[in-house]
Amino acid sequence: MTKNKRLRRRKAARILSNLYAVLVYSVFYIPVAVMIVFSFNDAKRNYYWQGFTTEWYGKLFSFANTDLWDALLYSLIIAVLATLISVTIGVLGGIGLKKFEFRTKRFINMMIYVPIIVPEIVLAVAMLIIFMTVGIRLGMGTILIGHCTFCIPYAVVTIKGRITGDSETLQEASMDLGANRFQTFWRVTVPSIMPGILSSAFLAFTLSIDDVVMSNMLAGPSQSTLPVLILSLNRTGITPDVNALTTVMVALMVAGMLALNGVQRYLKKRENRLAAEAESKRSSAHAA
Amino acid sequence: MLKREGTRRGKKRHSRLPLLAQAGPVSLWMILFVTIPMLFIIYISFMTRGTFGGVEYVFSTDSYQTLLDVVYFKVIAKSFQVAVVTTVLCLLVGYPFAYYIARKPPEVASRLIMLIMIPFWTNSLMRLNAWMLLFQANGPVNHALMALGLTAEPIKFIYTDWLVMLGLITNMLPFAVLPMYSSIEKLQKSMLEASADLGAKPSVTFLRVTLPLTFPGIFSAIILTFIPALGIYTVTDMLGGGKVLYIGNIIKNQFGAIRNWPLGAALSVLLLAITALLIFIYMRFAKLEDMEVV
């Protein structure tokens, strides 16, 4: 009887907790769903739902709205460059800060966390003041520097988390076997942290392409990034083709993430296979 | 003695190159674009406002006195209030949610975490705009409320603190969930079993074992929600319609039309000081490196 009661209570708790999770997830997904639905809105500007149309996608891909496409192109160029720069510096830095001991290391380690924790507006304003005082012209270069400044720390933290005792042993083994530093770096270190490199690249790209604050503060007068354009459009009302573009971008991002997942899974499988082969070779050599 | 010195230096030079190549760029970048700007903004905050905007390099504490002015003080107090409420709600909603995910098998849990991340690949401003569309006077939420007979007139949601708060919470929640998830996940099951075996009720186990052990995760969550919530201005711009002003908006405005750099700098220093204080507290009981930020 009591056991039955306890079972029933446990079942009720499970249903309740599942319900709770669904509720929280729906808070995350409702705005995305609404955003997508309003890309099919038959209205000049998105205020109210006025009927279904796919016309906005046609308009979007007729490239008539050059402001939108220029902004997207600008955002994409910045995001790609920011990803390349921040992953390069971040990966090297992650390895270096893990491997070496030097006097300023504690300080640099703390500085790494500053862009992650400090409100972005503070960092953006601080950089703006420096750029203006030194006399650096605002534009793509300054936006790029701003984006790299908050992308590098995430790359460093990701990479540092990836480097384990194992990979250090592997590096030593590689050097002992006669490989030089470059060979060791490219053929041992980099492959061993490849999943970390991929995920920090993905993170850098998503952070850069979605950034408003830095891009807004550090932009020159001529061209703005897509999010900054959206922020300014908000005053007059956002046209549904922006929703259409955002929908296309989300779809591409999800596809990109699935592909990345596939690559990471493949790398892991290969690693396991190679390890198994090495193991079997070693044991057969032992037997002989 | 001299000889030893020589060999030491030689050895050092030999091992310096990889160090410089690897740790060099990141150190240089952080010093150039984080340390120096941060120090410079503190310096600027103690300067005088230029007549035509910009800065006059004369020492003054005017900007800090301005912060005590009723107008600004109200904004600061309100920003704090909203940030505190946002953080508390993020913790209250996020902890059970993180717990739910952490109790699932690892394979399922990583999928569930992924499911949190996906919506965040949608442009954040467009997601905020979606809340606006939902809560318009003539929007779906008001229609539903009126159809249910809960209200006769449409309720004014937009341009209110409530909608701003909703935007903040939905934007910040993942940053609260992720660190709490990883500390709950690390929790040893044996600890909970031991507590239960020793006769503690589930509620007692939760209060005296689970909660203290996952406290570093909770505090990371506080830092990662409270500080951004204090400085964010896009949410208020999108959902407050420029009518709701928080610290972030005021800072931004000092570098736009109004141009009072020292005041903007002083407000930034205030945010920096709060950040430093929270980090200082955090570092008393956990390592910065253990903060789950990714």
Residue appearing with tokens 């954040």: B124
Greater confidence (A175 vs B127) lies with B127
**Cβ–Cβ pairs < 8 A, chains A and B:** 242
d(CA A167, CA A188): 8
Four-residue CA torsion sign, B270, B272, B275, B276: negative
Walk along chain B (294 residues) and give the pLDDT tens digit of each residue.
Answer: 344 444 444 444 456 777 777 778 888 999 999 999 999 999 988 888 877 767 778 788 888 888 888 888 888 888 888 899 999 999 999 999 999 998 888 888 888 988 888 888 888 899 999 998 898 878 888 888 888 888 778 888 878 888 888 999 998 999 899 889 988 888 777 777 787 788 777 778 888 888 888 888 898 899 889 988 888 888 888 887 777 788 888 888 888 777 788 888 999 999 999 888 988 888 887 777 777 666
Compute chain B's Rg from CA coordinates. Answer: 25
**Is B19's CB within 8 Å of A102's CB?**
yes
CA of A285, closest CA in chain B: separation in Å? 36
| Residues in CB range of A71: below 8 A, 6 or more apart | A223, A224, A225, A226, A228, A229
**Is A46's CB within 8 Å of B129's CB?**
yes
Which pLDDT score, from 0 to 100, does residue B11 have? 44
For residue A61 the two structure tokens come to: 């891909």
d(CA A211, CA B120): 12
- Number of residues that make up chain B: 294
**Is B33's CB within 8 Å of A227's CB?**
no
**Is B97's CB within 8 Å of A24's CB?**
yes
Greater confidence (A285 vs A154) lies with A154
Which residues in chain A are contacts of B19 at CB distance < 8 A?
96, 100, 102
DSSP state of B240: S
d(CA A229, CA A78): 15
| Residues in CB range of A226: below 8 A, 6 or more apart | A68, A71, A72, A74, A75, A209, B123
Full DSSP string of B103-119: TS-HHHHHHHHHHHHGG
Let me know if B293 is exposed, middle or buried by CB neighbors in 10 A (0-12, 13-18, 19+). Answer: middle
Fold of the domain spanning A66-287: MetI-like fold (1.10.3720)
Which pLDDT score, from 0 to 100, does residue A127 have? 93
Is the pLDDT confidence value at A100 over 90?
A: no
**Is A129's CB within 8 Å of B44's CB?**
yes
Compute chain A's Rg from CA coordinates. Answer: 25
**Is A27's CB within 8 Å of B26's CB?**
no
Which residues in chain B are contacts of A145 at CB distance < 8 A?
33
Is the pLDDT confidence value at A4 over 70?
A: yes
* Residue of A121, A184, A218, A225 for testing the chain B interface, max B β-carbons within 10 Å: A121
Beta bridge partners of B56: B48
d(CA B292, CA B283): 14
**Chain A from 59 to 78: CB within 8 A of any B CB:** none
- Number of residues that make up chain A: 288
Q: Are B83 and B229 in contact (CB under 8 A)?
A: yes
Which pLDDT score, from 0 to 100, does residue B74 have? 87
Which pLDDT score, from 0 to 100, does residue A98 have? 78
**Chain A from 179 to 198: CB within 8 A of any B CB:** 181
Is the pLDDT confidence value at A172 over 60?
A: yes
Average pLDDT over residues A184-196: 80
**Is B22's CB within 8 Å of A93's CB?**
yes
Residue A152 sits at the chain B interface (C-beta within 8 Å): yes
Residue A227 sits at the chain B interface (C-beta within 8 Å): yes
Element (H or E) spanning B55, and its range?
strand B55-56
**Chain A from 265 to 284: CB within 8 A of any B CB:** none
Average pLDDT over residues A107-130: 89
**Is B38's CB within 8 Å of A230's CB?**
no
Which residues in chain A are contacts of B139 at CB distance < 8 A?
48
Beta bridge partners of A41: A52
Let me know if A99 is exposed, middle or buried by CB neighbors in 10 A (0-12, 13-18, 19+). Answer: middle
Residue A16 sits at the chain B interface (C-beta within 8 Å): no
Which residues in chain A are contacts of B97 at CB distance < 8 A?
20-21, 24
Element (H or E) spanning A192, and its range?
helix A190-192
Element (H or E) spanning A176, and its range?
helix A165-176
- Over residues A40-94, the pLDDT tens digits come to 988 888 877 888 888 888 888 888 888 889 899 999 999 999 999 999 999 888 8
**Is A119's CB within 8 Å of B271's CB?**
yes
Q: Are B205 and B192 in contact (CB under 8 A)?
A: yes
Q: Residue A41: name the closest of A28, A51, A55 by CA.
A: A51
Which residues in chain A are contacts of B111 at CB distance < 8 A?
none
Q: Using CB atoms, which residue from B100, B130, B234 is nearest to A17?
A: B100
State the pLDDT confidence band at A1, using cuts at 50, 70 and 90: low
| Residues in CB range of B126: below 8 A, 6 or more apart | A35, A230, A238, A242, A243, A246
Which pLDDT score, from 0 to 100, does residue A173 have? 82
Closest-CA residue in chain B for A72?
Answer: B123
User: 3-state class of B56 per DSSP?
Assistant: strand
**Chain A from 204 to 223: CB within 8 A of any B CB:** 206, 210, 212-213, 216-217
Q: Using CB atoms, which residue from B22, B29, B100 is nearest to A152?
A: B29
Query: Mean pLDDT highest for which of A118-127, A277-286, B273-282?
Result: A118-127
How far is CA B97 from each of CA A22, A25, B180, B181, rounded to the nearest angstrom?
10, 10, 9, 8
Which pLDDT score, from 0 to 100, does residue B7 have? 43
Domain boundaries of chain A, sorted by first residue? 1-34, 66-287
Q: Using CB atoms, which residue from B97, B140, B231 is nearest to A21?
A: B97
Which pLDDT score, from 0 to 100, does residue A145 have? 95
Is the pLDDT confidence value at A22 over 90?
A: yes
User: 3-state class of B172 per DSSP?
Assistant: helix
How far is CA B40 from each of CA A153, B134, B200, B233, B267, rounded to the nearest angstrom?
21, 43, 55, 23, 14
Element (H or E) spanning B49, and its range?
strand B48-49
Which pLDDT score, from 0 to 100, does residue B86 have? 92
DSSP state of B285: H
Which pLDDT score, from 0 to 100, does residue A165 have? 67
User: 3-state class of B48 per DSSP?
Assistant: strand
How many other C-beta atoms are found inside a 10 Å radius of the C-beta of residue B132?
23
